[in-house]
Structure 1
Amino acid sequence: MRLGELAHARTGDKGDTSQICVFVHHQADYPRLLRLLTAPRVSAQLCGLSVERVEIYPLPGLGAVNLVLHGALSGGVTRSLALDAHGKTLGMQLLDMEIGEDDNA
């Protein structure tokens, strides 16, 4: 199973920082989302990037978690030589994260 079956994402970027807000489809899955989206796990999923720091902001009223990825955009959208490695692409890459039965606990 992939994270995208549990949630969807909205993204944005500013300078060298990308934000990914992940929303569960069903509020009952929110505690699971909190367990899944840890800084080490997000960094591992986006390992091709040079993310300096991952900040995590739970938004329980929205059934969401906002992730702020510092240093994720290779200098920023207008400075990067990367081919579209920006907000929307990163959100889809995160939603492709494999989650297993052990993530249900």
Structure 2
Amino acid sequence: MRARLHDIAHARTGDKGDTSTLSVFPYRDEHYPDLVRELTSEAVRRHLSTHIRGEVIRYELPNVCALQFVCRRSLDGGVTTSLALDTHGKSLSSRLLSLEIDLP
């Protein structure tokens, strides 16, 4: 079964310089293994390819059932140097939640 990520999870975003951090939390703990399996660094990089020009590093946080993605070169130079409308990258989390994943 295919589902949009926003149907099973929510996300928070942070930023520093030209790096965004995207943290994804399932609404229900039993969906954490699905996120680990489906939400790879490559999947995030591919889905956000128009915004992320650098590497994407994934960190697994099983004690809190979360995944964190550190996205380098994602803010067009950073808050103080970018001409982008969303220099903080807050919309990246919403865009990420539109990703479709497979659920058992």
Q: TM-score, normalised by structure 2?
A: 0.91
Q: Which moved more, 1:77-86 or 1:55-64?
A: 77-86
- Percent of aligned pairs with the same residue? 48
Whether 1:84 aligns to 2:86 is yes
Give the partner amino acid of 2:66. Answer: A
Query: Residue 95 of structure 1: CA displacement?
Result: 0.4
Q: How many matched pairs?
A: 102
* RMSD, aligned CA: 1.2
Aligned partner of residue 77 in structure 1, secondary structure: coil
Partner of 1:60: 62
Q: Where in structure 2 are there 5+ consecutive unaligned residues? A: none
Higher helix share: 1
Which moves more between the two structures, 59-68 or 41-50?
Answer: 41-50
Q: Distance in 2 between matches of 1:68 and 1:76?
A: 14
Deviation at 1:104, TM superposition (A): 2.4
**Distance (whole Å) between structure 2 residues aligned to residue 50 and residue 3 of structure 1:** 19
* TM value normalised by structure 1: 0.90
Which of 23, 26, 31 is residue 25 of structure 2 equivalent to?
A: 23
Contact 1:51–1:70 (CA<8 Å) still a contact in 2?
yes
> By how many angstroms is 1:85 displaced?
5.1
- Structure 1 residue ranges (4+ consecutive) displaced by more than 4 angstroms after TM superposition: none
* Structure 1: unaligned runs, 5 residues or longer: none
**1:62 partner letter:** V
**1:72 paired residue number:** 74
